[in-house]
Structure 1
Amino acid sequence: MSDFAGKNILVLGGSRGIGKAIVQRFAAGGGQVAFTYAGSADAAAALAAETGSEAIRTDSADRDAVIATVAGRGALDVLVVNAGVAMIGDPLTFDPDEVDRMIDINVRGPYHAAVEAARHMTGPGRIIVIGSVNGDRMPFAGGAAYALTKSAVQGMVRGLARDFGDRGITVNAIQPGPTDSDMNPADGPMAAAMHGFMAIKRHAHASEVAELTAFVAGPHGAMITGSFQTIDGGFGA
């Protein structure tokens, strides 16, 4: 597999879960991959050693740090913004600072990363944000702030796709539904309720999301832009 041979690729939020699978897929495709991590130093080091990629410690809530990390990679071919956090619960009891941090990571970080990447892309490029089907549908209570951030990603993708299209840069969102990860384990307390909304009653595997990401990032994705590629087992159907 050499579909990304020689490509300069950065994955923001790549040490675990979906991000880890994306790093593995791009590295297996021959890409020159770097990824960021925040608190998972051991996991990041192990993934870097496994894949021959570079691990960069970056706080995705820190705008300046995100911009510096993206700029430091030079002329990227592919940027994937996977870093994200989720807060589900009673909005009346949430710490407002934690809600604002979620907005920093899920909305401001992807925007500034995408803009900085576009500054340095010299040829056709791919910018992909890992969003969520909850940008389309929030079928249970407690998800308002999280859904807000994922709907914001949709507006950003639409706008930046038009802003960068004349330079051959595509901008898209991948929207997973329930996916087996530390954040949302397949055997977690909400799994049965989530599966009740789905046509295919299981969590997705992170590798399945990674394969869709690779398709959009690859040569077959040249005419896919401003889109939301949903992979949710029918959660939002």
Structure 2
Amino acid sequence: MKIVVIGGTGLIGSKLVAGLDGQGHEVVAASPSSGVDTLTGAGLAEVLDGASVVVDVSNSPSFEDAAVLEFFRTSTRNLLDAEAAAGVGHHVALSVVGTGRWPESGYFRAKAAQEEIIRTAGIPFSIVRATQFFEFVGSIAGVGTVGNEVRLSPVLVQPMAGADVAAALGRVAVGAPLDGVVEIAGPEVFRLDDFVRDGLAARHDPREVVADPDAGYFGAPLEERTLVPGDGALLGTTGFADWLKEN
């Protein structure tokens, strides 16, 4: 089975490609560096020729509200149009837990728009909503840093290892289309400030993490459980402490 991974050279995409290749599938990692640009449509017809499944793990190069919305709208429409022309039978998209219930976030509004385009395109689909990745602990700290303090809202998070995200995507990709949404998350629930505090401590980072209910998250306020999945989420197996030891 030919599977094309859009964004196949990135953090999640590269792990997904390796996993599917190890299972014996014909896997193609597609990205601008390989001549495939979903924003312009360049290279899509060629790379999708003969593909049964497309997995889209691409992300916007800019998180500014208008830019990220334009990216997901344009790239998703171009990709789905090319899939329809190529006869692709399953579109898999990586999304984010909390999509649809956090309109204050421009990024989450853009992901909601992407999901709606997928639902109405007419191609069998599966949307995989993941929680935050362990690998993002440094960037989360960076956004909240003021001087030597990291100010973060003490909301709940259930982050997961990138390898577990890729493994879940791989299982969905080789299965029947869900025509719906599945949530995936890590095995442990943290307060956001504790998650980052543990991550910085493991790196001997001297910054002090302060729980601040007014801090928001990437510039937007959110409720305590906005970023955690509902009942029935599929859970990864990698704990944060084990991941920190290995990384």
TM-score range, shorter chain: 0.5 to 0.7
Matched, 1:128 2:92: yes
For 1:51, the equivalent position in structure 2 comes to none
Mapped contact 1:61–1:104 kept (Cα < 8 A): no
In structure 2, what is the Cα distance between the partners aligned to 1:236 and 1:112? 30
How much has 1:186 moved relative to structure 2?
5.9
Matched, 1:235 2:228: yes
Pick the structure with greater CA Rg: 2
Secondary structure at the aligned position of 1:18 is classed as helix
Secondary structure at the aligned position of 1:175 is classed as strand
Identity of paired residues, percent? 16
Given the alignment, which residue of 27, 33, 46 partners 1:33? 27
Given the alignment, which residue of 72, 76, 79 partners 2:51? 76
Given the alignment, which residue of 9, 15, 25 partners 1:21? 15
Given the alignment, which residue of 175, 179, 182 partners 2:129? 175
Question: Quick one: structure 1 residues 114 and 71, their matched pair in 2 at CA, closer, same or farther if it must change by over 3 Å?
Answer: farther
Given the alignment, which residue of 146, 169, 172 partners 1:213? 169
For 2:117, the equivalent position in structure 1 comes to 156
How much has 1:72 moved relative to structure 2?
3.6
Mapped contact 1:134–1:150 kept (Cα < 8 A): no
How much has 1:149 moved relative to structure 2?
1.1
TM-score (norm 1): 0.65
**Between structures 1 and 2, the one with greater strand share:** 2
Mapped contact 1:110–1:129 kept (Cα < 8 A): no
In structure 2, what is the Cα distance between the partners aligned to 1:13 and 1:107? 16
Unaligned runs of 5+ in 1: 1-6, 42-55, 89-93, 165-169
Given the alignment, which residue of 69, 75, 89 partners 1:109? 75
Secondary structure at the aligned position of 1:30 is classed as coil
Q: How many residues get paired?
A: 183
Secondary structure at the aligned position of 2:120 is classed as helix
Mapped contact 1:17–1:180 kept (Cα < 8 A): no
In structure 1, what is the Cα distance between the partners aligned to 2:118 and 2:71? 16
Which amino acid in the other structure matches residue 138 of structure 1?
W
How much has 1:13 moved relative to structure 2?
0.7
How much has 1:196 moved relative to structure 2?
3.6
For 2:242, the equivalent position in structure 1 comes to none
Mapped contact 2:92–2:126 kept (Cα < 8 A): yes
Aligned alpha-carbon RMSD (Å): 2.9
How much has 1:215 moved relative to structure 2?
1.9
**Between structures 1 and 2, the one with greater helix share:** 1
How much has 1:33 moved relative to structure 2?
1.4
> Once the two structures are superposed, what CA deviation does each residue of 1:131-175 show, in whole Å capped at 9, x if it has no partner?
112413339x6x2x2111111122123223xx23xxxxx212111
